[in-house]
Amino acid sequence: MPDVLSFDDPKAVSAAIAKMFSEAPLYSQLVYTDKSQTETIPEAIQLFCETCDMDTNWDTNVWNANYRRGFGETEYKCRNCREKSVTYFYYWGKAVSPADAFLFFKIGQWPALEERIPRELKKNLDRASQNSYYKALRCRNQNLGLGSLSYLRRVVEDKINAILDMIAEESKQVGFAAEHLAKLQDIKAKGLFKDKIEFASVILPPSLWPGGHNPIDALHDLASDGTHHFSEEECVQIFDRVRVVFEYLFREIDTRRRSASEYAASRAKLASARK
């Protein structure tokens, strides 16, 4: 049973429903009480548009009607290109418990929730790892949380040595954790998956800590055997946290590499022009 949220602002209800449309797996439930008695679906949500190749706002036609009346269907269209559209099928009505609560969940959508691997990560995955990552995303979108974590762990285990190399290279650039980096090859050769994640946490430079928090901490959930005792919904939440970190590391480090390469090329060009 999901936690029961409490709302008294129609904007907060609309934001929660919009997030369910755009991000939630099928049949993942939003249970809430609402003093504002909001009964209109959000006019706009945010999704990735393949035509525009970026996140855009998607609109729907909202009528002066009660959408909180059980099973429903609605279509959203990309505001930018006006080509791409997505249709949602959902339930929005009274919850069984508590008596004064409402329940929202998706029962289907077309096209299916996107299974997109960021470019920076995709170019670092071989075909087998890409297939496993797509399967992880597909399981997540079907609310099969344990399956999504199993596939994701397979990918991270396969790439953990490459992640360590990337982090170590960044750490060397800023002179961080020199005494620990000496153990890198030994950890890669002999360390267990848990040991490698712990080592990655130690050598990750603070410059890669968004908001002052070490993102590697989220990967510890993936190494825990306790995930088998969690519900599917809890596993989806863990998957989402780990996925954000996994993609963040490749995106950030790849961006820094390209920036350093462009800077070096510019310096070389300037030096050549002075001769």
Q: Are residues 165 and 103 both part of a single domain?
A: no
Please give the helix or strand (H or E) that residue 3 lies within, else none. Answer: none
pLDDT on residue 147: 95
Domain count for the chain: 2
Name the residue among 39, 81, 77 with its Cα closest to residue 61. 77
Residues 74 and 41: beta-carbon distance below 8 Å: yes
pLDDT on residue 193: 93
Give the domain-ending residue among 110, 141, 167: 110
Q: Are residues 97 and 156 both part of a single domain?
A: no
Is 210 part of a structural domain of the chain? yes
Is 274 part of a structural domain of the chain? no
Structural domain boundaries enclosing 226: 119-266
Residues 170 and 256: beta-carbon distance below 8 Å: yes
Which two tokens mark 232? 């599917």
**How far is the C-alpha of 240 from the C-alpha of 222, rounded, in Å?**
11
Q: Which residue in the block uniquely carries the two structure tokens 């750490």?
A: 171
User: What tens digit of pLDDT does each residue of 174-210 get?
Assistant: 899 999 999 999 999 999 999 999 999 999 999 899 8
Is 272 part of a structural domain of the chain? no
Identify the sign of the CA torsion 49, 51, 56, 59: negative
pLDDT on residue 273: 62
pLDDT on residue 222: 87
| DSSP H stretches of helix in 175-231 | 178-181, 184-190, 193-203, 219-223
Q: Are residues 172 and 231 both part of a single domain?
A: yes
Is 271 part of a structural domain of the chain? no
Q: Are residues 253 and 151 both part of a single domain?
A: yes
Identify the sign of the CA torsion 215, 219, 224, 227: positive
Is 135 part of a structural domain of the chain? yes
pLDDT on residue 259: 61
Q: Are residues 39 and 174 both part of a single domain?
A: no
User: What tens digit of pLDDT does each residue of 26-45 get?
Assistant: 999 999 999 999 999 999 99
Is 186 part of a structural domain of the chain? yes
pLDDT on residue 44: 97
Burial class from Cβ neighbours inside 10 Å (0-12, 13-18, 19+) for residue 248 reads middle
pLDDT on residue 275: 59
**How far is the C-alpha of 84 from the C-alpha of 58, rounded, in Å?**
9
Regions of the chain short of the pLDDT cut 50: none
Query: 4 has which bridge partners?
Result: 31
